[in-house]
Amino acid sequence: MRIKEEFAHVIKQQLEGQWDRRKIEWMIEKPKHEHMGDLAFPCFELAKAFRKSPKMIAEELSEKISASFIEKVEAIGGYVNVFLNREMITTEVMAEILAAQENYGKAIFGNGKVITVDFSSPNIAKPFSMGHLRSTVIGHSLSLIAEKCGYNPVKINHIGDWGTQFGKLITAYRLWGDEETVKKEPIKELLKLYVQFHEEAKENPDLEEQGRNWFKKLEEGHEEAISLWTWFRDESLKEFGKIYDKLGITFDSQAGEAFYNDKMKRVVELLEYKGVLVESEGAKVVPFEGMPPCLIKKRDGSTLYATRDLAAAMYRQKKYGFAKSLYVVGSEQSLHFKQLFAVLRKIGCEWEQGMAHVPFGMMLKDGKKMSTRKGKVVLLDEVLEEAVYQAMKNINDKNPHLEDKEEVARHVGTGAVIFHDLKHFRLHDVEFSLEDMLTFEGETGPYIQYTHARASSLLRKGRFNDSQQYTSAMEDSSAWPVVVSLMQFPDVIKRSFDAYDPSQVAKYVVELARAFNHYYGSVRILDDPEQIQSRLSLVHSVKIVLKEGLRLLGMEAPEKM
């Protein structure tokens, strides 16, 4: 039951003029204190249109509003506050969850349209560091949330396998590399060579020119350059695959930048045909007003990120016919995407309106950005291994006879790392802290997973039969905050998608877990034979929603911990 939607509809019926129901719904708040009601509608924006004070408008509206789901209406200051019919709401919300199961909160506004989600996109020949975690888990969660909203997500891993850095790496390997050493630990050794190149280049600037020349040879199909590049790419994809397996992430496409090499010439020709490409100091650019020009071709004829991303956007539109296309890429690339979308608009690609850059803050270490070229990275694989180790240690201390404890430790440890990232609003920077990540209390993944396991345990002990319909109203007043939280889940999913913000789901599951644990601590759920079925129906509802919330974040929900 979407109460905010229903309440917005009731308010709209009482308002004169073209007040949009969706805007009314967006304006509805939750009162700061429980004694002030369950929902509140602020009347301040209406004051100008009605030429009355917000307080007077609230008083007039409160006298007109009535609905079966509303118990009482009060005008408090400039707000219309409503108290919901708890018995009716509890019955309907739980009946809806128990009937829908994991489909509770599913929306259809996506109408089966395609949404491409470009995320993760690590560079080959470099380790998968904690710096790559943000794009990976945010993008994966958004693709799951989009699917929940009725879209058909296409998950794209746009591998960074092209560019001047590969000319630099080839130069470094030819100068200092050893084939046997690289074969033993490819990513570790290639990173060492990449870091050495930048250290040596400080004293010998000619190395930069050598790097550019080898990339030019790579673009021209030079046999040795292609052979080394292919080797570096194959080894990298093997290592990346191990990380994605641990995170439970799959992709529909892993076509990297190099895939678009044969498609860029047509992009340049199209830009010339449309008359938007001009020459500037020997390079070719698309100029704009109020924004730096978009560089399409360098003076030496080599291509850039923008050229490849234009080719990729056109290819994806032709292949998938997307309605929306998301790029989950760090905030530092905001100008690049503004330019990319502006070029597409300039040449008349109307489908550009469905494209969006989803920026996020940096993963910091000691307050500073992690840097691959300086060798200052924390490897994601090592963090995941440590997290799983700590989870196993915790299980051995507290529940050594737990069944399948290796699998549970993997789910809990990996979930701790994912949740630590996703609980932050994506635009905020995140300070890397292994200690905070692995805390098994408070606003953490393990806390949510443990709450789910606790609910599962109660259902087993109470021999809950989910085929039996919930019939009786609960007499537990402490259950109401849990019901209110359950009722909010569909709205949270919609808001998360609209804002491209998985942290709203993460914060929601924390609130639901807290409400449930408070209920668990104040009511002996299994002790009253007359109330046990209705109480367990509530427990089962919580279990369903917690599990689905965790799934939308890309996490598992263990039955036992």
Domain boundaries, the chain: 3-84, 114-258+323-369, 380-552
Looking at CATH, the fold of the domain delimited by 380-552 is given as Isoleucyl-tRNA Synthetase; Domain 1 (1.10.730)
Q: Would you state the pLDDT for residue 378?
A: 80
Sequence-ordered list of residues with C-beta below 8 angstroms from that of 398, at least 6 positions apart, any chain: none
Tokens of 388: 């799983």
Instruction: Return the SS3 of 224.
Output: helix
Query: What integer pLDDT is reported at residue 18 of this predicted model?
Result: 66
pLDDT of residue 425: 94
CA distance 227 to 231: 6
Q: Do residues 523 and 535 lie in contact, with contact meaning Cβ atoms separated by under 8 Å?
A: yes
What H or E segment, with its residue span, contains residue 472? none
Q: Rounded distance, CA 236 to CA 537, Å?
A: 49
Domain over 3-84 is classified CATH 2.160.10.10 = no
Residues of the chain with pLDDT under 50: 471
Which tens digit of pLDDT belongs to each residue from 348-377?
999 999 999 999 998 887 777 765 555 566
Handedness of CA 179, 180, 186, 190 (dihedral sign): negative
Residues recorded for the chain: 561
DSSP SS3 for 198: helix
In this prediction, residue 97 carries a pLDDT of 94
Give pTM, 2 decimals.
0.91
123-181, pLDDT tens digit by residue? 888 888 888 999 999 999 999 999 999 999 999 999 999 888 899 999 999 999 999 99
Residue with tokens 């807290």: 514
Q: In Å, what is the CA distance from 339 to each residue of 66, 121, 273, 328, 537?
A: 51, 20, 19, 16, 53
Strand 152-156 with 114-118, pairing: parallel
Cα dihedral across residues 334, 337, 342, 343: positive or negative:
positive
Gap between the Cα atoms of 312 and 296, Å rounded: 14
Q: Token pair for residue 334? A: 């905001």
User: What is the reported pLDDT for 469?
Assistant: 56
Q: Give dist(CA 453, CA 557) in Å, integer.
A: 8
- Nearest partner of 474 among 547, 544, 539, 518, judged by Cα: 539
Give the count of beta carbons closer than 10 Å to the beta carbon of residue 278.
14
- Give pLDDT, residue 371: 59
Q: How buried is residue 155: exposed, middle or buried, by Cβ count under 10 Å (0-12/13-18/19+)?
A: buried
pLDDT at 63: 93
CB 540 within 8 A of CB 466: yes
Q: How many angstroms separate the first and last alpha carbons of the chain?
A: 32
Task: Give the pLDDT of residue 433.
Answer: 80
Q: DSSP readout, 410-460?
A: HHHHHHHHHHHHHTS-TTS-EE--HHHHT--SSSSHHHHHHHHHHHHHHHH
Residues 34 and 55: beta-carbon distance below 8 Å: no
Please tell me the predicted confidence (pLDDT) of residue 533: 87
Architecture of domain 114-258+323-369: 3-Layer(aba) Sandwich (3.40)
Q: What pLDDT is stored for residue 439 in this prediction?
A: 76
Helix (H, G, I), strand (E, B) or coil at 252: coil
- Among 44, 17, 39, residue whose Cα is nearest residue 29: 39
